[in-house]
Amino acid sequence: MSLRQAVVRSRAYLCLECGICTGSCPVSRFNAAYSPRLTVERALLLDEEESLHDHEIWACLTCGTCDVRCPSTVDFTGFMRDLRERARKAGNDGICTHAETIEAVLDLQLSPNFRRSTSWLRSLQTSSRGKVYYFGGCLPFLDVIFEDIGFEGTKIGRSSVRLLNALGIRPAVSCDEVCCGHDAYWTGRIDLVRTLADINVKAIRRTGAKQVIFSCPECFYMFKHIYPDIVGDLGFEPVYILNVLLEAIDKVKFKPVNAKVTYQDSCRLARIEGMVTEPRQVLQALPDVDFVEMQRMGKDAICCGSSNWVSCSRVNKQIQIDRLTEAASTGAKILVTSCPKCNIHLRCALRDEDCKVDIDVIDLMVLLASHLGGGKRGT
Amino acid sequence: MENAAKDGFCLNPGTSVIPVKCSGLIKVSFLLRLFAKGSDGVLVLGCLEQDCRYFNGSIRCGKIVDETRKILELAGIDATRLGFHLISESQGREFKKIFRRFVKQFSKRGRRVATSSSR
């Protein structure tokens, strides 16, 4: 990928230098040195060596707010991804967060004799073959890594399968499934994504599935938009769990929630998929729920400060605290998230000493499953 | 290990020793990558808790090992393949015993080999 190709692919030549991207960027609000527009400009004006060793290229959250607002429809995040791919080859590969644990889990998944355990889905109805497949992704691994902040990834996965069971769906799961490669993709490791896509698609095809259900927006994004470019026709249809739930939400009975809740839009779901109304419809289907909106919602929602597990800094923390404060100012007691990463990052910020907010961060699937009642499987 | 060597101990072939300054410096990623590279087992040895020069190095290492074991179980690798013992430098004979016992379990159970996965 040459710089020229990156500019053509992202249509960066259309930039009017209006500065809307910098004004919209959550990182620029707290880090004046960073600007999407200037990053493109620097890459073009500086000599190659200098621009590829710029540490600011790892500051982008790839949240896509600038892409949505750009009047010239420049794909800034796409440019950033291509730039990262080149920077990585030049030896500038960012600083991995969490002591590289997440990277190492990925390495482990790529080892030749890897077969993941599905014991975390114990006592739920799953099968090894079937028309419908459930893709759990890295949830159980994240559970172990983020135990200290009280993140329960396994619970999100289990809740999703429980909701599917309540709808009468018995999803297939596989021991051969690996990470979807979302973070590898956004940090410019396209070869790795190819390997992962190949393994995943083969593993799912072996189960005979025609429909694959996702509870993670990032995995869904990869399967829907990136995998077809890599492996061609998938042979199955990726579906987000909310769509499945919405089709049959009348069939399930829920217990009253009796709480004021607000919702954090996920970047992949709201800005890329345009799924803004679906999660709200599902939330409002719960009895006695007092749903309030934050001021910045839908496509204008502020990112949770997730950074593809590279270069997490004070800036990310400030973005998160800002978002949590906004959520608490609505008077809500529960902040509902749909992306496991939003859940992890906002929970992490809740423990920050600068954060004076008291709010519960709960995943949408966990909230729904814990209020199941009168349905097929009860609580 | 030197103390054990005086006793006539030598490492099994295929064993590599990775020295670290303090067992508290070990990260989950180090251990996971050793398994990813195909190790049959990893034995983590640290100083006794009361001997720690940095106050909580060995305690920290214990937590890291626990976390790694949980991830290994999820990845379908038996957690007993990661051994953890705290011994003093002078306990040469004890080290010999621990090492022999750790290696023996692999001669009994065999190596990590590809199962029915068709990859």
Q: Would you say residue B21 lies in a domain?
A: yes
Domain count, chain B: 1
d(CA A334, CA A40): 39
> Is 80 exceeded by the pLDDT of residue B85?
yes
Contacts for A341-346: CB closer than 8 Å, 24+ residues apart: A341/A218, A341/A266, A341/A304, A341/A306, A342/A264, A342/A266, A342/A304, A342/A306, A343/A151, A343/A156, A344/A142, A344/A146, A344/A149, A344/A151, A344/A306, A345/A304, A345/A305, A345/A306, A345/A316, A345/A320, A346/A264, A346/A304, A346/A320
**Pairing of the two strands A259-264 and A211-214:** unpaired
Q: Would you say residue B50 lies in a domain?
A: yes
CA angle A325, A261, A329 (to 5 degrees): 25
Q: Would you say residue B111 lies in a domain?
A: no
Return the residue of B nearest to A147 by Cα.
B67
The most distant pair of C-alpha atoms in chain A lies apart, rounded to whole Å, by 66
Q: Would you say residue B119 lies in a domain?
A: no
Nearest to A368 by CA among A214, A247, A254: A254
Q: What is the pLDDT of residues A296-354, one digit of tens each?
A: 999 999 999 988 999 888 999 999 999 999 999 999 999 999 999 999 999 999 999 98
Q: Which residues of A touch B25 (CB under 8 A)?
A: none
Look at residue A94 in the predicted model and tell me its pLDDT.
86
Return the residue of B nearest to A178 by Cα.
B75
d(CA B45, CA B31): 13
Return the residue of B nearest to A110 by Cα.
B36
Q: Mean pLDDT across chain A, nearest whole number?
A: 92
Q: What is the pLDDT of residues A346-373, one digit of tens each?
A: 999 999 998 999 999 999 999 999 999 8
Question: Is the pTM of the predicted complex or chain greater than 0.90?
Answer: yes
Q: Is B29 on the interface with A (CB under 8 A)?
A: yes
Confidence of residue B110 (pLDDT cuts 50, 70, 90): low
> Is 80 exceeded by the pLDDT of residue A378?
no
- Structural domains in chain A plus CATH codes: 3-89 (1.10.1060.10), 98-246 (no CATH), 252-370 (3.40.50.1860)
Look at residue B118 in the predicted model and tell me its pLDDT.
33
Q: What is the pLDDT of residues A163-190, one digit of tens each?
A: 999 999 999 999 999 999 999 999 999 9
ipTM of this complex prediction, to 2 decimal places: 0.89
Q: Which residues of A touch B73 (CB under 8 A)?
A: 117, 119
Domain membership of residue B38 as a residue range: 2-8+17-105
Q: Would you say residue B117 lies in a domain?
A: no
Q: Which residues of B touch A111 (CB under 8 A)?
A: 35-38
Look at residue A374 in the predicted model and tell me its pLDDT.
57
Residue identified by tokens 């399967």 is A223
Residue identified by tokens 């953890």 is B84
User: Which residues face A213 on adjacent strands?
Assistant: A134, A239
Q: Is B78 on the interface with A (CB under 8 A)?
A: no
Look at residue B9 in the predicted model and tell me its pLDDT.
82
- Do the chains contact at A107 and B70, CB–CB below 8 Å? no
> Is 70 exceeded by the pLDDT of residue A377?
no
- Do the chains contact at B70 and A115, CB–CB below 8 Å? no
Confidence of residue B119 (pLDDT cuts 50, 70, 90): very low
d(CA A64, CA B35): 37
Confidence of residue A267 (pLDDT cuts 50, 70, 90): very high
Q: What is the pLDDT of residues A146-166, one digit of tens each?
A: 999 999 999 999 999 999 999
Q: Which residues of A touch B114 (CB under 8 A)?
A: 112-113
Q: Would you say residue B45 lies in a domain?
A: yes
Q: Which amino acid is at A46?
A: L
Look at residue B114 in the predicted model and tell me its pLDDT.
40
